[in-house]
Amino acid sequence: MAKNRYINTKFWDDSYISDLGPNAKLLYLYFLTNALTNICGAYEISIKRIVFDTGIAEELIKGLLKRFAEDKKVLYVDGYIIIKNFIKHQKQNPSIIAGIKAESGRLPANVMTACNKLSQAGTYLNMNLNSNSNSNSNIKELGNSVKDKKDKTTSRKIINKIKKDLKIKGVIK
């Protein structure tokens, strides 16, 4: 499956990004677009790989990672990059949500814990999946947003699988 990352041109107007130096901007953009990134914005990557790909010195990368962590923008936990609000900027359709769920399910527990701490919503999936009152309505809303009949059938299958998983975990009844 091809991976494409589209960067909104407003990226450069963001007050946080505009205050960064050139190496910090490059590193932040690299975290969003490198070959190892995935749909959930939390992925394994070594410092050595980051150095090789960006040409930025290891000590500078470590310093920038510390700054990003202090700013609560990007964490580096046990060899994993975690980008705050990455999911929020992805197109929200059933197949994307299923992909996010699958990728996040592969994360080690300590990385997932860090994801949850970094996330504004308190849940990394940013879909209110831990709230009994909102889960069913969020899932129904996903199904209602699909127009094409073939896509609706696929969406229903995905939504039913998500519902089943949530019932097993006791998130919904």
Phi-psi region of 147 (alpha: psi -120 to 50; beta: other; left: phi over 0): alpha
Per-residue pLDDT at 149: 54
- Listed residue (167, 152, 34, 165) closest to 102, CA to CA: 165
Per DSSP, what are the bridge partners of residue 44? 80
| Sequence-distant (≥ 6) Cβ neighbours of residue 44 within 8 angstroms | 36, 79, 80
Mean pLDDT in the chain?
A: 78
Q: Are 126 and 119 in contact (CB under 8 A)?
A: yes
* Confidence check: pLDDT of 167 > 70: no
What proportion of the chain, given as a percentage, has pLDDT over 70?
A: 68
Q: Are 78 and 110 in contact (CB under 8 A)?
A: yes
- Listed residue (110, 77, 86, 70) closest to 31, CA to CA: 86
Q: Kindly provide the residue ranges of all beta strands, DSSP E only, lying in the chain, ordered along the sequence.
A: 42-44, 74-77, 80-83
Confidence of residue 157 (pLDDT cuts 50, 70, 90): low
Which of 4-13, 76-85, 106-115, 147-156 is predicted least confidently?
Answer: 147-156
- Listed residue (87, 82, 86) closest to 98, CA to CA: 87
Number of Cβ within a 10 Å radius of residue 164: 11
Break the chain into its structural domains and give their ranges. 9-89, 94-168
Q: Are 129 and 123 in contact (CB under 8 A)?
A: yes
User: Strand 42-44 and strand 80-83: pairing?
Assistant: antiparallel
* Confidence check: pLDDT of 139 > 50: no
Q: Are 84 and 95 in contact (CB under 8 A)?
A: no
Mean local confidence (pLDDT), 144-156: 56
Q: What is the pTM of this model?
A: 0.68
Per DSSP, what are the bridge partners of residue 80? 44, 77
* Confidence check: pLDDT of 32 > 70: yes
Confidence of residue 25 (pLDDT cuts 50, 70, 90): very high
pLDDT in tens, 83-135: 998 877 777 788 888 888 888 889 998 898 888 888 754 445 444 333 333 44
* Confidence check: pLDDT of 154 > 80: no
Domain 9-89 indexed as CATH 1.10.3720.10: no
pLDDT in tens, 50-73: 999 999 999 999 999 999 999 999
Mean local confidence (pLDDT), 126-149: 43
Residue 21 corresponds to which amino acid?
G
Per-residue pLDDT at 140: 46
